[in-house]
């Protein structure tokens, strides 16, 4: 609750005029967001002032911690974890075909880390981890905190959706930002991401900050600015954090959708040698940084070896199977995943109109094609069709003969398949010249 005598308009005036706010000012303002002492108009004015004037690292840390403390904060020692247990997580800024969390959490758990991952739904062109898990029959993405903690302790990882008790100030703050053209503010994005993650009681965090045509921030420099700010603020807030910048100028992996991405993830865990190389590289890079920043490995080479061993031995696949079963999914999911995961009866080839190398693609257009098929949403309240999407998607550098598949589309109707075909043929660029290969991991940012 905000202190008596607190005047939100004074905090807004200070930030409007470029002053640095005290931690108390920020705490009072966030408390006012939570208990409705601050109006939507005042939230909007504050957000716009931050949008134009930014925040110092101290202000960013104060905003993040105040939003974190607006609701419940998980203390893992209350659930039987030792002090200093390697409780770690990864957060992605979102991309097209980004199913990394599904493999990453069990890999890190198989290496001795604990991964309590609170994930979100997709909105716009980027898919959501939660939507993918809801393609699995029986999977419960909203267990009680007690059951969440039990699964993390017994299995090593659990992937759930955000509950209303975690960082409630962020939910109201974001809803106002969403309709006042202030979503793109880097300090506010940082606080929004970190408040929810830190409410999960993490000991460490790794950020996957994406850039390119399929990313939330297409521009590399803006994405880098966000990554640097998140690392700076998170470390100041007491959570060791590393950011990995990854390329999202092409879909990640060979599938885009919900059930199809879970199928690709299961196949990745069972036989990594057959998996898409970019997807393997991103997943192992993030796993290695999680193991290092959480203290489970002393250096990146050792961590990558451990992560690869967890995959090759089948231990990561076993962890994934246990997590699915612990949250209500089928106990034999990894043996029968193709039986349990729905895909439509209509499967069509999307043929290349000419021969050539894949030199570029509009990954955002691919993501929106999934939305058009019914596999994504433009409004948070929409339901989605988990059975539609793309598989066998081409990658930059692939040579494709005329008439050969750029991808395959699962659609509900022939008309929807035709529309998707037109979109993908337009989104994928072919050339006689092979493109220059760009690294999928562009930069690592530490404080």
Pairing of strands 389-391, 441-445: unpaired
pLDDT digits (tens, 9 = 90+) for 229-281: 999 999 998 999 999 999 999 999 999 999 999 999 999 999 999 999 999 99
Q: Residue 122: which pLDDT band, with cuts at 50, 70 and 90?
A: low
The reported pLDDT for the residue numbered 257 is 95
Two structure tokens written together for 141 = 């993405």
For the chain, helix, strand, coil in percent to 5 are 45, 15, 40
For residues 53 and 59, give the distance between their C-alpha atoms in angstroms, rounded to a whole number. 12
- pLDDT of res. 24: 95
pLDDT-based confidence at residue 380 (cuts at 50, 70, 90): low
Strands (E) in 180-317, as ranges, are: 204-211, 241-247, 256-257
pLDDT in tens, 195-217: 989 999 999 999 999 999 988 88
Q: Which residues are catalytic?
A: 89-92, 129, 177, 192, 196-197
Angstrom distance (rounded) from CA 173 to CA 34: 9
Q: Which of 324, 277, 279, 339 lies closest to 109 in space, CA to CA?
A: 324
Nearest alpha carbon to residue 366 among 96, 95, 93, 94: 96
Edge-to-edge order in the sheet of strand 356-361: 399-400, 356-361, 428-431
User: Nearest to residue 91, comparing CAs of 13, 195, 163, 185?
Assistant: 195
pLDDT digits (tens, 9 = 90+) for 80-89: 999 999 999 9
pLDDT over 90 percentage in the chain: 85
Q: Can you give the pLDDT at residue 329?
A: 98
CA atoms of 68 and 59, how far apart (whole Å): 14
What integer pLDDT is reported at residue 279 of this predicted model? 97
Radius of gyration of the chain (CA): 22
CA dist 36 to 31, 42, 49, 179, 226, Å?
8, 11, 20, 18, 29
pLDDT category, 2, cuts 50, 70, 90?
low
Confidence band for 178, pLDDT divided at 50, 70 and 90: confident
Sign of the CA dihedral with 252 first, then 357, 433, and 126 last: negative
404: pLDDT confidence band, cut at 50, 70 and 90? very high
pLDDT tens-digit readout, 139-164: 999 999 999 999 999 999 999 987 77
Whole-number Å distance between alpha carbons of 56 and 66:
15
Task: List the structure tokens of 339.
Answer: 């039986």
DSSP for residue 381: T
Quick one: tokens of 329? 């999914």
Query: What does the mean pLDDT of the chain come to?
Result: 93
For residues 73 and 201, what is the distance between their CA atoms, to the nearest angstrom? 6
Instruction: Report pLDDT for 161.
Output: 87
The count of other CB atoms within 10 Å of the CB of residue 436 is 8
For residue 127, pLDDT over 80 is answered with no
The pLDDT value recorded for residue 74 is 93
Domains in the chain with CATH codes: 8-54 (1.20.970.10), 76-336 (3.40.1030.10), 341-431 (3.90.1170.30)
pLDDT in tens, 407-442: 999 999 999 999 999 999 999 999 999 999 889 999
- 110 CA to centre of own chain: 21
Pairing of strands 204-211, 356-361: unpaired
Q: What is the pTM of this model?
A: 0.93
- Please tell me the distance from the alpha carbon of residue 415 to that of residue 437, in angstroms, as a whole number: 35
Task: Give the 3-state secondary structure of residue 350.
Answer: strand
Torsion from C-alpha of 266, 271, 276, 281, nearest 10 degrees: 100
Predicted pLDDT at 422:
98
pLDDT value, residue 395: 96
Supply the pLDDT for residue 216.
83
What local confidence, expressed as pLDDT, does residue 125 receive?
Answer: 63
Tokens of 395: 């990658």
Supply the pLDDT for residue 191: 95
Q: At 184, is the pLDDT very low, low, confident or very high (cuts 50, 70, 90)?
A: confident
Q: Identify any residues that bridge with 243 across adjacent strands, giving them in sequence order.
A: 207, 445
């Amino acid at each position: 609750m905000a202190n008596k005598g607190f005047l939100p308009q004074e905090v807004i005036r200070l930030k409007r005029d470029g002053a640095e706010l005290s931690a108390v000012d920020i705490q009072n303002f966030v408390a006012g967001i939570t208990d409705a002492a601050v109006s939507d108009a005042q939230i909007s004015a504050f957000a716009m002032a931050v949008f134009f004037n930014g925040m110092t690292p101290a202000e960013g840390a104060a905003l993040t911690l105040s939003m974190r403390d607006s609701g419940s904060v998980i203390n893992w020692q209350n659930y039987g974890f030792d002090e200093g247990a390697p409780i770690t997580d990864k957060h992605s800024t979102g991309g097209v075909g980004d199913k990394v969390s599904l493999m990453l959490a069990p890999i890190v758990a198989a290496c001795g880390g604990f991964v309590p991952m609170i994930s979100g739904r997709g909105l716009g062109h980027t898919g959501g981890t939660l939507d993918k898990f809801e393609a699995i029959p029986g999977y419960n993405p909203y267990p009680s905190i007690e059951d969440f903690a039990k699964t993390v302790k017994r299995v090593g990882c659990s992937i759930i959706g955000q509950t209303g008790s975690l960082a409630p100030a962020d939910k109201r703050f974001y809803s106002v930002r969403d309709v006042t053209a202030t979503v793109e503010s880097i300090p506010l994005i940082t606080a929004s991401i970190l408040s929810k993650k830190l409410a999960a009681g993490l000991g460490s965090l790794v950020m996957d900050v994406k850039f390119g045509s399929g990313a939330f921030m297409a521009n590399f420099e803006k994405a880098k600015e966000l990554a640097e700010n998140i690392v700076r603020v998170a470390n100041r807030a007491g959570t060791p954090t590393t950011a990995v910048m990854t390329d999202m100028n092409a879909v990640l992996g060979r599938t885009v959708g919900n059930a199809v991405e879970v199928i690709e993830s299961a196949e990745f865990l069972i036989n990594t040698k057959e998996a898409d190389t970019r997807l393997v590289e991103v997943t192992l890079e993030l796993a290695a940084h999680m193991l290092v920043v959480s203290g489970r490995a002393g250096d990146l080479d050792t961590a990558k070896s451990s992560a690869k061993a967890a995959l090759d031995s089948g231990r990561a696949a076993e962890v994934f199977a246990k997590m699915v079963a612990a949250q209500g999914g089928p106990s034999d999911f990894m043996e029968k995943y193709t039986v349990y995961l729905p895909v439509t009866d209509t499967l069509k080839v999307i043929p290349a109109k000419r021969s050539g190398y894949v030199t570029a693609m509009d990954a955002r257009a691919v993501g929106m094609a999934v939305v058009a098929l019914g596999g994504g949403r433009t409004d948070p309240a929409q339901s989605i069709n988990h059975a539609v999407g793309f598989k066998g998607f081409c990658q930059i550098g692939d040579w494709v003969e005329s008439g050969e598949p750029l991808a395959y589309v699962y659609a509900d109707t022939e008309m929807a398949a035709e529309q998707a075909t037109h979109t993908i043929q337009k989104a994928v660029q072919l050339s006689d010249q092979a493109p220059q290969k760009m690294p999928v991991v562009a930069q690592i940012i530490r404080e």
